[in-house]
């Protein structure tokens, strides 16, 4: 696999000649919507496969290996008929193996809403270990909202993907509620009712496990939340169900703030099968323009997490979206969400040159709209995905979690499947 960054004046044809890969393969692999108009700074994932090279006068095994950026040993292994590497024959046809990076095996979770496009789901499921269906909202009396999740559960299991029931403290028609969570966490009878309802639904609908995503909890509810998790684990584990929790991206155990204080990393790490670190939203709807998941910030979270949670239990969050801000940024103004492919399409439409921030490992660009207002867009591409996966490998984590899989990013899965083997638990 190669990641090619488009330069001004390049075409799919010229890039295909550079890598000896058919143009149509580059177009289809990357699902290019307008292959005739590439954007400077855009990435293309090149899946080379095994190619053939005809030896020319003056060629050596060293020069050929250098040209294709593969090792001499790899060429010799792909061509067992070479008896004397120091003496190649002009006209001899050699097999050139692809350059491979394999980090081993990985667990991949993908969050999905029940109304996800079924074609997007079909294309994504082969690259997933878990499908977390978002979400059952808890009620103050321990009851749960209803969602149309059965088609997704059936599709997941048919693809050997384990479906997870997700429960959240989202108020009906609203957002995450500290008060709602506090009502649950301070009433043991309501907790028992809630767990009864969770178990009933998991059995009835053939779920594999439970993902608890309680956010913005009051700091004083920290121990109550820990006790609730102990109760959930004691109830569902003997029934054969797996337990996962979603955690805010903390850089220390005593980090202040409503999002962080009640999330006790050591306790979650001890009680659950996996934790999902929500390592995104540094750049968010109401923030100044910046990368959604700057890799330098993600690294800080992992540096702390691995000291208190077993590495193999950690699934590192990766955002599958970007934001478009209007400049100059003003406090209280909202950015609009944009898909990764949509960002490239927008750059093409406005004639922007895509830049890349090496520290954050994220692409971005600026442009003026038709009213004269300037915009700044941050998103993710193949380079971002590879950098994230390399970080997972460096920290020896269990895997990744995508928020969400609803907008299909072809390059994400090209890179993911090129460098990792997806572990199926079913």
**Catalytic residue set:** 215
- The DSSP secondary structure of 188-226, one letter per residue, reads HHHHHHHHHHHHHHHHHHT--EEEEE--S--GGGHHHHH
Q: What six digits make up the tokens of 235? A: 């109830």
8 Å CB contact between 414 and 385: no
Letter string b/e over residues 263-285, b meaning 16 or more CB atoms within 10 A of that residue's CB: bbbebbbbbbebbbbbbbbbbee
Distance CA 123, CA 373 (A): 37
Q: Where are the beta strands (DSSP E) in 304-395?
A: 314-319, 322-327, 336-338, 355-357, 362-368, 374-378
Are the C-beta atoms of residues 181 and 221 closer than 8 Å to each other? Answer: yes
* DSSP of 97-123: PPP-----EEEEEEEE-TT--HHHHHH
Distance CA 406, CA 148 (A): 16
Q: What are phi and psi of 307, to 5 degrees?
A: -80, -15
Q: Tell me the CA distances in angstroms from 16 to 11, 70, 301, 382, one per residue in order.
A: 8, 18, 39, 18
């Amino acid at each position: 696999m190669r990641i090619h960054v488009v330069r001004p004046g390049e075409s799919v044809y010229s890039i295909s000649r550079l890598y000896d890969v058919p143009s149509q393969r580059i177009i289809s692999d990357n699902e290019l919507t307008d292959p005739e108009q590439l954007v400077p700074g855009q990435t293309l994932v090149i899946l080379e496969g095994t190619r053939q090279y005809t030896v020319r006068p003056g060629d050596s095994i060293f020069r050929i290996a250098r040209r294709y950026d593969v090792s001499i040993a790899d060429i010799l292994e792909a061509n067992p008929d070479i008896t004397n590497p120091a003496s190649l024959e002009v006209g001899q046809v050699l097999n050139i193996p692809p350059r491979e990076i394999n980090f081993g095996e990985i667990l991949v979770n993908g969050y999905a809403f029940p109304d996800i496009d079924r074609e997007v789901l079909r294309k994504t499921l082969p690259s997933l270990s878990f499908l977390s269906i978002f979400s059952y909202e808890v009620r103050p009396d321990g009851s749960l909202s209803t969602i149309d999740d059965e088609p997704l559960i059936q599709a997941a299991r048919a693809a050997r993907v384990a479906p997870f029931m997700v429960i959240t403290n989202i108020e009906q028609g609203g957002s995450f509620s500290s008060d709602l969570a506090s009502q649950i966490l301070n009433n043991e009878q309501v907790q028992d009712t809630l767990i009864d309802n969770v178990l009933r639904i998991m059995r009835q609908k053939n779920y594999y496990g439970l993902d608890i995503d309680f956010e913005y909890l009051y700091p004083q509810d920290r121990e109550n939340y820990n006790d609730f998790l102990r109760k959930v684990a004691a109830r569902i584990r003997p029934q054969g169900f797996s337990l996962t929790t979603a955690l805010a991206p903390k850089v220390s155990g005593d980090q202040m703030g409503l999002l962080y204080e009640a999330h006790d990393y050591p306790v979650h790490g001890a009680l659950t099968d996996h934790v999902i670190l929500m390592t995104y939203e540094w750049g968010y709807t109401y923030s100044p323009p910046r990368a959604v998941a700057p890799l330098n910030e993600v690294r800080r979270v992992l540096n702390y997490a691995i000291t208190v949670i077993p590495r193999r239990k950690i699934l590192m969050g990766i955002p599958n979206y970007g934001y478009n801000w209007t400049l100059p940024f003003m406090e209280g103004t909202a950015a609009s969400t944009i898909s990764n492919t949509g960002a490239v399409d927008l750059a093409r439409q406005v004639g922007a040159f895509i830049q890349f921030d090496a520290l954050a490992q994220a692409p971005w660009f600026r442009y003026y709209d038709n009213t004269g207002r300037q915009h700044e867009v941050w998103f993710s591409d193949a380079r971002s995905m590879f950098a994230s996966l390399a970080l997972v490998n460096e920290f020896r984590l269990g895997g990744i979690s995508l928020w969400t899989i609803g907008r299909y990013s072809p390059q994400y899965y090209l890179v993911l499947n090129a460098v990792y083997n997806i572990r199926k638990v079913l």
